[in-house]
Structures are given as C-alpha cells and as structure tokens.
C-alpha cells in the first residue's frame, strides 16, 4: 500500500510506492492540480497563471484514499486537490540527472547496419486504415528515426497522402514538394547520377524541417539505392572514441548557408551535434554541401574542431553504420531529419529515376502517435 509523508516545512511531500520513494514540491503539485478551477475539462489547459497561486504555498495535509488517489490540502488557500497516483508516478521528477552528456530519451534506440535485416516498414493501404498498424509504424519512426512505406500508388502527389497519415506538409522556398529526377547519361548535369554523402536536409533553416518524405515514381536505372545512417549512433560512437571532439562539435556552432536561388539567402548558426541544456542528445546537422565558413570556434581549438568534424564524417561514411534499400515505384521512406542522415548510391547503365519529396514535422507525427495511444487507453479504462 503506498504511503505519504509531509515534510515538517510543508514545502514538499514524499510518496512511497512499489517503485520507490518520490518527492513532490507543494508549488509543483498546486500548479499541476487537475480540478475544474485550475484546468479546463475539455482540453486540459490551465485556467490560471502562476501569479494566481500564492508564492508561499505549502502542504497542510496529505493522505492516500482507498481509490488509489492522493488528497492534498494546500495553505494558505485552504484548497484540497485529488491526484491520481499513476499520473504522479508517470510524471515524477525526483530522479538522478544523467551525469554524461549525450544521453538519449526513453524510447529511442540506436542502430547500425544490423537493422538492414529488419527495416521498419508499413503497407500503405493498411496504414490508411489507421488502428494498431498505423500506431506501430509511427512508433517505429519515433524509435529508429525512419521507416519505409510499400504498396502506395506510383502516382504524382501520393507523398501528400503519406504525410496525411500523421501531419501536414511544411512548405518551403522549394514549394510544397520538390522533384528528384535523375537520368543516366543526362543531357543536363542537373540530372546527375552521382552518389551523395549521407546528410541531413536543409541545415541552413532555423528551425529545420524535422521530417522528410521521399516517394519513388520511376526506377529503371541500375544502382541508386537509398541509404540511411543513424546520426545519434554516429555521435555516440564519436563520443566513445574522442570525448573532447564530441564536446567541440556540441559546444561550438557551425554555420550553414543556401543562396542558390534569386532572392533566397538562408542561413543558420547551430552546432553539428545538438544537446539540450540537460545534456540530452536531440539533433544533428551535417551537410558538407551546405556548410559555410566556420567562424565561431576559437583559433586555438579550430584544428581540433576540424579533426572531430572529419572523424564524424568518417564514422558516417563507414558502411558498418549504414542501412541500404532500393526504392521501387510506389515505395517511400520517411526520416526524422533531426536525427537520421540519408544518401543515395551512384547510378550506372541506362534508365531513369524519379522521386518526389516534401517536408513535414515530427510534432505532428508524435501528436498522432500519442493521441492514438491516449484514445486506446481511455477506451480500455471504460
């Protein structure tokens, strides 16, 4: 049976549950009250601001009821609030902060070439029906940072239907979508069959598009396989080999630029390895074609910075890190553009390759996934 004790100061309480003790501050509990005066029942949004809660809020009493709830009475308001124990356990913050920078959030799984035997994938017609299949496919993108789609029509514009499974197209200066046409022995070098180094797209934007979709319409050329690399795995490998180099790429900004169109000059100033303030690894920006002159690294560190930059590129280029697959007409893949780098092998022989691409964002994808999970949980509880 869970128990609760209130500190003599009343500024926090300790909740003892089977998973261990958890402390909660009075002000945190009051701010997160779920009662109708504090939260709107329809959408869960707060009806009050922090200024409406007394700064000297303290816990006057607390007890656990037989219904698995924690009742807390706050002073000086004299207000009583009931908290669900499972909700408190799910939102506990009384835990050790990871000591090492570059830690990964729960649910994220790094990978290398070994994932090629089990590439995350979903059938388009099945995904359109929603339900568990769509939820699981979205979950795989959140876990691995990418997934394929098979069985879609090989018709222009289908990529918008793929985005519609989870979110909305993010329009850029390239339009709502862009064409990727490649011809072997082309009449114009713009339609080149050369391979591309693994990269993240649009690092010169701030914020970057966090999802990219590529959908294949034609594929008659030999070669041209698509390749993906887990940027998180690459960054953590660099950290293991060269902790100082990892810190250099995380602590100093690179600069990225694109000005290939009249009236367009996109620039950003962000680190190649991006960490949250608490040290969580949250993103990579790596694109040799769009990297501008790096001017934010001190003179005495520049040589070491470039050595770390080179080594990260070598790790990304290592075939042991890559998963390759061929996109056939009607197939697509979706990547988390803040994490997974993508590339294309070179073409040879005769034929054509035509893909359409567009951008979207991970917030919509996560919202769809989590909204489905919440609905399923509510239905199961009824």
User: Over the stretch 341-375, which tens digit does the pLDDT of each residue have?
Assistant: 999 877 666 778 889 999 999 999 999 999 999 99
- How confident is the model over 227-274, as pLDDT tens digits? 999 999 999 999 999 999 999 999 999 999 999 888 999 999 999 999
Evaluate whether 229 touches 343 at the Cβ level (below 8 Å): yes
* pLDDT the model gives residue 188: 38
Cβ burial, residue 304 (10 Å; 0-12/13-18/19+): middle
Looking at residue 189, its pLDDT comes to: 35
- pLDDT < 50 regions, the chain: 187-191
- First-to-last C-alpha distance (Å) of the chain: 24
Distance CA 337, CA 211 (A): 5
Residue 277 CA from chain centroid, whole number: 16
- E strands, 174-260, are 178-183, 196-199, 211-219, 222-223, 226-230, 254-258
CA distance 56 to 60: 12
CA–CA distance, 62 with 73 (Å, rounded to integer): 6
Among the listed residues 342, 370, 331, the one whose alpha carbon sits nearest the alpha carbon of residue 134: 370
Q: Which long-range contacts (CB under 8 A, 24 or more apart) does 262-265 make?
A: 264/173
How many other C-beta atoms lie within 10 A of the C-beta of residue 156? 13
């Amino acid at each position: 049976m869970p128990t609760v004790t209130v500190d003599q100061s009343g500024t926090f309480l300790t909740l003892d549950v089977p998973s261990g003790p958890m402390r909660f501050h009075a002000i945190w509990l009051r701010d997160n009250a779920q009662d109708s005066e504090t939260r709107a029942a329809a959408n869960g949004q707060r009806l009050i601001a922090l200024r409406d809660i007394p700064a000297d809020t303290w816990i006057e009493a607390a007890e656990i009821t037989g219904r698995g709830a924690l009742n807390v009475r706050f002073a000086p308001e004299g207000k009583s609030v009931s908290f669900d124990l499972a909700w408190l356990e799910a939102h506990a913050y009384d835990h050790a902060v990871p000591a090492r920078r570059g830690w990964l959030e729960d649910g994220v799984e790094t990978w290398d070439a070994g994932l090629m035997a089990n590439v995350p994938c979903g059938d388009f017609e099945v995904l359109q029906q929603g339900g568990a299949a769509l939820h699981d496919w979205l979950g795989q993108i959140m876990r691995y940072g990418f997934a394929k789609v098979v069985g879609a029509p090989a018709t222009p514009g289908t990529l918008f239907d793929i985005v519609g499974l989870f979110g909305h197209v993010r329009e850029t200066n390239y339009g709502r979508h862009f064409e990727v046409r490649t011809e072997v022995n082309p009449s114009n070098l713009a339609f080149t069959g050369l391979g591309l180094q693994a990269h993240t797209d649009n690092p010169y934007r701030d914020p970057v598009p966090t999802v990219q979709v590529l959908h294949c319409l034609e594929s008659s050329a030999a070669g041209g396989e698509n390749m993906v690399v887990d940027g998180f795995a690459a960054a953590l490998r660099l950290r293991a080999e060269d902790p100082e180099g990892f810190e250099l790429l995380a602590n100093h900004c690179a600069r990225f630029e694109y000005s290939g169109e009249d009236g367009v000059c996109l620039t950003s100033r962000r680190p190649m390895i991006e960490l949250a303030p608490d040290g969580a690894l949250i993103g990579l920006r790596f694109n040799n074609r769009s990297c501008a002159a790096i001017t934010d690294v001190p003179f005495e560190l520049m040589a070491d910075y470039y050595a770390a930059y080179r080594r990260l590129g070598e790790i990304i280029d290592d075939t042991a890190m890559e998963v390759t697959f061929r996109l056939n007409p009607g197939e697509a893949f979706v990547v988390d553009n803040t994490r997974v780098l993508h590339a294309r092998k070179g073409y040879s022989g005769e034929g054509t390759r035509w893909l359409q691409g567009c951008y979207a964002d991970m917030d919509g994808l996560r919202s769809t996934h989590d909204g489905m999970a919440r609905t399923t949980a509510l239905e199961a509880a009824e």
